[in-house]
A and B are shown apart, each in its own frame.
Chain A
Amino acid sequence: MGSTWQSILVYTFIWGSIYLLISLGFSLVCGVLRIFHLGYGAIFVIAAYGTWVFMEDVGLGLIPSIALMFLVQIGFAVAIFYRGVFQRYLEEEETLLTMAVLIFIALTHLANYLYPVTAGVSIPTTLIDDILKIGTVKIAYQMVLAALVGIIVTLVFVAMFLKTRVGLIIRAMSQNIQAAMLMGANVRKMYYLAIVLSVIPPTICMLMIAPFWGIDPFMGSPLLMTAMLVAILGGLGNLKGSITASYLIGFIHASVSFLYMSRFMGLAALVVTLIVLMIKRGGLFAGETLW
């Protein structure tokens, strides 16, 4: 029984940190633009398949491929999602959400058409190919590193929001957009910045988890689901909420997996989220601000 609880604790930390990395960009867009980025799953698809295209089809090395993929990622987020959809349909909720999902679906099917599962897409981003032993729990180093990267990226983001002028403006916008505009905040510029920042954590996440998660064209949907669940449970675009919710969902997943059956972990997380919403309207941190 002791080893089971050790496993639960270790995997709560690992999965919670990875879920945090998955959902950070989604929460950022929620907090700043006050919209749900339902095309968020596309970022994971571009991260994996973009890197693969530059490596395999163009013949570049891993690092240049990742660098170019980042440029494509940012360009796609700004030109297609922000300028093409969010800016245009900000006042028409259902059209905005539908268009974002349609772009995501088109991209997913394009990836599936060009590189189906049988194509064997893989990204060689394993940093340490070994097993770590924590007490009685054995775990791949890559998973631990992915979790640590998740924490580091979150800390960098939090520090930026709390300690820099840009962070102050973004927080002000998330609290009251009209007041921020009256105080001279360049809202348009900050929206662009938020969109660019929002693609960084999921892209890093994809690169870190690619060796053990498995890449397939339809992986964006479950990852989007995780990000949405964290956002709902934590509170609309609140980073404190996202951090808490990530680890809470990590704990639920780990507990259900080790104490009952792993196939029920998604269902259990959803049931807990619904119960929390019934008790506490708007999630754990319902302040509707970024921090």
Chain B
Amino acid sequence: MVSLEFKRDRLQLRWGDQKYEWEIEPRYWRNPAIGVLLLAILPLFVYSYPNILTMFTTANLYAAIAIPLGLQMIGTARVNFGPQLYLGLGGYTSALLNLHLGWSPLATLGATILACGFLALLLSPTTFIAKGLYFSLITLILPLTFLDVTFIYGDIFRGEVGLTGMSALFNLGKVRWNYLGYFYVSLLLMLLYLWVSDKIGRSRFGVTLAAINENEDVARMMGVDINRYKIFYFVFPSILTGIVGWFIVHTFRTFAGVTYLPLDFMIKILIIVIVGGRAYVYGAIPGAYLISAVEDSLRALGPINYVVFPLVLIGLVLILPRGEGLWGLYHKRHHRDYFPLFHVRR
């Protein structure tokens, strides 16, 4: 039996025992829709500047790494300093399979998911074995060890220069169209991650996020199977991060561990979370766009940009409201606008 009902702010569909709801009041979807629209029309203004388009694509990918990281940080109540391990694993898995065995991007996607899922599952006990800071240190060391491995087995991973010549995800015929295509696919990937994280955060399953983050012992006493949830919140974001590695391989067609595995890259992602607003999953987007823009503009300074960039990041952390970041600033000014958020006290 199907019944459709208009509530004050939502449309409700009942189908047997199932209930589906859609928010229809404008304040629930207007600003997110404007945000997505702005991101979608952005390339039209910079269509003839491939560098800027690449910068936006990079920003989308940064956000696509930062969003699962935010979810993971809240869900495991620990700061993972090494999500780039899965980025590297995903990238190298797809690159090596594509180059040596001729697997198609679709097949390498499956292999990436399996490889990242397996490693994350193997390492997931660290989320309950290692306490907060221990966890951070272990996760910090793992990608650096992987980087070491890429140098040790340089004939396979080509640690210094990276792998090149992997097959492209698609070819639209013209270089500019390809740039545009990659931007939109990266945007879709980022929005998909955002949507999934948001759905998880607002579901009953997601209530455990806040419970684990607030107080693990209390959550356990209330009957939450902490370890099981922690494994999920560790493995799932790790797979999402691995997929970004796969995407990089098949869009930029080059992958070097030395670019993505060092601490500098990870710090960039953590800064995106902090600058965007660590309690807000949506904050990763303005954070990623700001950091990418700053990074790209500073390149004009020459070699000194490597010194100036971290200093600018330090400045941003000092200037922005603590814990709230850019998204917090927006949310304060538009408190009546509804935005789903992970507002978790740490």
A181 CB–B CB distance under 8 Å: no
Q: A92 with B323: in contact, given A98-B267, A103-B314, A106-B310 (CB under 8 Å)?
A: yes
Chain B: interface residue count, which band?
Answer: 35 or more
C-alpha spacing A109/B301, complex, angstroms = 14
A263 CB–B CB distance under 8 Å: yes
A270 CB–B CB distance under 8 Å: yes
B133 CB–A CB distance under 8 Å: yes
B144 CB–A CB distance under 8 Å: yes
Report whether B264 and A105 are in contact in the complex, using a CB–CB cutoff of 8 Å.
yes
Report whether A102 and B303 are in contact in the complex, using a CB–CB cutoff of 8 Å.
no
Q: Which of B98-106, B192-200, B229-237, B270-278 contacts A (4 or more CB under 8 A)?
A: B270-278
B202 CB–A CB distance under 8 Å: no
A90 CB–B CB distance under 8 Å: no
A74 CB–B CB distance under 8 Å: no
B137 CB–A CB distance under 8 Å: yes
Report whether A228 and B306 are in contact in the complex, using a CB–CB cutoff of 8 Å.
no
Instruction: Return the chain A residue nearest B148 by Cβ.
Output: A266
Report whether B138 and A277 are in contact in the complex, using a CB–CB cutoff of 8 Å.
yes
C-alpha spacing A228/B139, complex, angstroms = 12
Report whether B130 and A277 are in contact in the complex, using a CB–CB cutoff of 8 Å.
yes
| Minimum Cβ distance to chain B for residue A238 (Å) | 13
Report whether B145 and A98 are in contact in the complex, using a CB–CB cutoff of 8 Å.
no
Contacts of A282 in B (CB 8 A): 131, 134
Report whether B306 and A112 are in contact in the complex, using a CB–CB cutoff of 8 Å.
yes
Report whether A113 and B310 are in contact in the complex, using a CB–CB cutoff of 8 Å.
no
Contacts of A81 in B (CB 8 A): none
Report whether A98 and B307 are in contact in the complex, using a CB–CB cutoff of 8 Å.
no
A264 CB–B CB distance under 8 Å: yes
A-B pairs with beta carbons under 8 A, tally: 98
A219 CB–B CB distance under 8 Å: no
Q: Which of A36, A99, A101, A278 contacts B133 (CB 8 A)?
A: A36
Instruction: Return the chain A residue nearest B146 by Cβ.
Output: A267
Report whether B278 and A228 are in contact in the complex, using a CB–CB cutoff of 8 Å.
no
C-alpha spacing A274/B119, complex, angstroms = 14
Instruction: Return the chain A residue nearest B322 by Cβ.
Output: A92
Contacts of B134 in A (CB 8 A): 232, 236, 277, 282-283
| Minimum Cβ distance to chain A for residue B172 (Å) | 38
Q: A93 with B79: in contact, given A229-B141, A267-B149, A278-B125 (CB under 8 Å)?
A: yes
| Minimum Cβ distance to chain B for residue A105 (Å) | 5
C-alpha spacing A93/B149, complex, angstroms = 29
B152 CB–A CB distance under 8 Å: yes
Report whether A94 and B144 are in contact in the complex, using a CB–CB cutoff of 8 Å.
no
B311 CB–A CB distance under 8 Å: yes
Number of interface residues of A (CB under 8 A): 38
Report whether A267 and B145 are in contact in the complex, using a CB–CB cutoff of 8 Å.
yes
Report whether A93 and B136 are in contact in the complex, using a CB–CB cutoff of 8 Å.
yes
| Minimum Cβ distance to chain B for residue A104 (Å) | 9
Contacts of B313 in A (CB 8 A): 102
Q: Which of A35, A105, A232 contacts B138 (CB 8 A)?
A: A232
Report whether B137 and A102 are in contact in the complex, using a CB–CB cutoff of 8 Å.
no
Q: Which of B129, B133, B149, B317 contacts A98 (CB 8 A)?
A: B317
B44 CB–A CB distance under 8 Å: no
| Minimum Cβ distance to chain B for residue A56 (Å) | 20
C-alpha spacing A102/B346, complex, angstroms = 22
Q: A231 with B311: in contact, given A92-B322, A92-B323, A221-B263 (CB under 8 Å)?
A: no
C-alpha spacing A109/B129, complex, angstroms = 36
Instruction: Return the chain A residue nearest B152 by Cβ.
Output: A263
A95 CB–B CB distance under 8 Å: yes
A83 CB–B CB distance under 8 Å: no
A149 CB–B CB distance under 8 Å: no
Instruction: Return the chain A residue nearest B78 by Cβ.
Output: A93
Report whether A278 and B314 are in contact in the complex, using a CB–CB cutoff of 8 Å.
no
Instruction: Return the chain A residue nearest B140 by Cβ.
Output: A228
Report whether B81 and A97 are in contact in the complex, using a CB–CB cutoff of 8 Å.
yes
Contact with A along B45-85 (1 / 0, CB 8 A): 00000000000000000000000000001000001010000
B300 CB–A CB distance under 8 Å: no
Q: A270 with B145: in contact, given A92-B322, A92-B323, A228-B140 (CB under 8 Å)?
A: yes
B34 CB–A CB distance under 8 Å: no
Report whether A94 and B141 are in contact in the complex, using a CB–CB cutoff of 8 Å.
no
A225 CB–B CB distance under 8 Å: yes
A92-B323, A264-B152 are known; give 15 further A-B pairs, CB within 8 A: A92-B346, A94-B278, A95-B274, A95-B317, A95-B322, A97-B81, A105-B267, A109-B306, A113-B307, A225-B144, A228-B140, A232-B137, A236-B133, A277-B129, A277-B130
4 closest A-B pairs by beta carbon, nearest first, are A109-B306, A106-B310, A94-B79, A102-B310
A-binding residues in B (CB < 8 A): 73, 79, 81, 125-126, 129-134, 136-138, 140-142, 144-145, 148-149, 152, 263-264, 267, 270-271, 273-274, 278, 303-304, 306-307, 310-311, 313-314, 317, 322-323, 346
Give me 18 A-to-B residue pairs in the complex whose CB atoms sit less than 8 angstroms apart, sorted by A's number.
Answer: A35-B133, A36-B136, A92-B323, A92-B346, A94-B273, A102-B313, A103-B310, A106-B311, A112-B306, A113-B303, A113-B304, A221-B263, A232-B141, A264-B152, A270-B145, A277-B126, A281-B130, A282-B131
